[in-house]
């Protein structure tokens, strides 16, 4: 369950070392954006391969949920509040913008 730090190699060995989980927790988030992971393998004689690099884009593609709370009826001339504060996104995403439109 390694936590990757930029520029710090993590060495794994057989039998399970051929694949590695990139563990992310709320305190060790990999920020959104394009990241590169490099692999060099070494044989049992100490010869090292040329490096290969994988490009991984971290991107939130999950839609937030809009929730509107409003009075169902108001008197003419009365101001009222449309409340969108119960809207949410799946963490670590947050609602960043409320876009209000009177439709009809």
Closest approach, Cβ 68 to Ca ion, in A, equals 18
Closest approach, Cβ 26 to Ca ion, in A, equals 15
Q: Which stretch binds Ca ion (CB under 5 A): 28-36, 41-49, 74-82, 85-93?
A: 85-93
Structural tokens at position 53: 């690099």
Of 49, 52, 60, 82, the residue at the interface with Ca ion (CB under 5 A) is 60
Number of other CB atoms surrounding residue 22 within 10 Å = 15
The reply on whether position 89 binds Ca ion by CB under 5 A is yes
Closest CA to 11 of 101, 72, 2: 2
Rounded distance, CA 56 to CA 30, Å? Answer: 11
Site residues, Ca ion (CB under 5 A): 60, 62, 89, 93
């Amino acid at each position: 369950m390694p936590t990757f730090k930029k520029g710090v190699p993590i060495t794994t060995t057989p039998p399970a070392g051929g694949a590695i989980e990139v563990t992310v927790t709320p305190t060790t988030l990999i920020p959104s954006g394009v990241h590169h992971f490099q692999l060099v393998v070494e044989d049992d004689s100490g010869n090292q391969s040329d490096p290969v690099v994988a490009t991984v884009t971290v991107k939130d593609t999950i839609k937030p949920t809009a929730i509107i709370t409003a009075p169902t009826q108001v008197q003419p001339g009365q101001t009222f509040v449309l409340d969108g504060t119960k809207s949410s996104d799946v963490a670590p995403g947050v609602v960043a913008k409320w876009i209000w439109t009177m439709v009809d």
